[in-house]
């Protein structure tokens, strides 16, 4: 008998993964290509409309780099929702944005002390948002095929 439980029991992305990617400081070419695919595939205006519909407020008093990173993570998630043909406004999906925010805030506290390259930070937070949606898709929809 084949056991599928280990394959189906994926852990969610965590802030330590984001921290590790930032500390490495280099971005693999295939990851750049994946992000470019999203940016080309879906109009920026439609992603902005999705963001506006979520009615998420990012506090103007927080550090600009942190604020940009959270926004970047949210935008990455919205692109991934489009790619997976999932509705970001669905009640089962809203908690994801809170998780992304908390994780990015935790990562920022750790990696911002020694200076932080803005382009790397925004790339990694965008990618982190994408990863969360793929995990959510797995957790809520695809994992059911394993059982």
Q: What is the mean pLDDT of residues 68-97?
A: 91
Q: What is the mean pLDDT of residues 6-33?
A: 74
Query: What percent of the residues of the chain are helix, what percent strand, and what percent coil, each to the nearest 5?
Result: 70, 0, 30
Identify the band that residue 6 occupies on the pLDDT scale cut at 50, 70 and 90.
very low
CA–CA separation, 65 and 127 (whole Å)? 16
Helix, strand, or coil here: 116?
Answer: coil
Most confident of 53-57, 88-92, 104-108: 104-108
pTM of the model: 0.82
Contacts of 89 (CB under 8 A, 6+ apart): 50, 53, 54
Q: Do residues 110 and 104 touch, judged by C-beta distance below 8 A?
A: no
pLDDT exceeds 60 at position 88:
yes
Q: Where are the domains of the chain?
A: 13-146
Mean pLDDT of the chain: 83
């Amino acid at each position: 008998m084949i056991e599928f439980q280990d394959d189906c029991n994926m852990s969610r992305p965590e802030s330590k993964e984001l921290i590790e990617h930032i500390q490495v400081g280099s971005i693999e070419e295939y990851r750049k290509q994946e992000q470019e695919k999203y940016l080309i595939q879906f109009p920026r205006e439609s992603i902005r409309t999705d963001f506006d519909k979520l009615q998420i407020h990012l506090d103007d008093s927080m550090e600009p780099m942190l604020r940009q990173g959270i926004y970047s993570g949210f935008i990455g998630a919205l692109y991934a929702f489009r790619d997976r043909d999932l509705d970001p406004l669905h009640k089962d999906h809203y908690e994801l944005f809170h998780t992304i925010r908390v994780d990015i805030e935790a990562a920022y506290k750790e990696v911002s002390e020694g200076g932080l390259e803005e382009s790397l930070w925004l790339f990694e937070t965008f990618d982190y948002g994408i990863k969360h949606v793929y995990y959510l898709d797995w957790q809520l929809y695809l994992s059911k095929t394993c059982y």
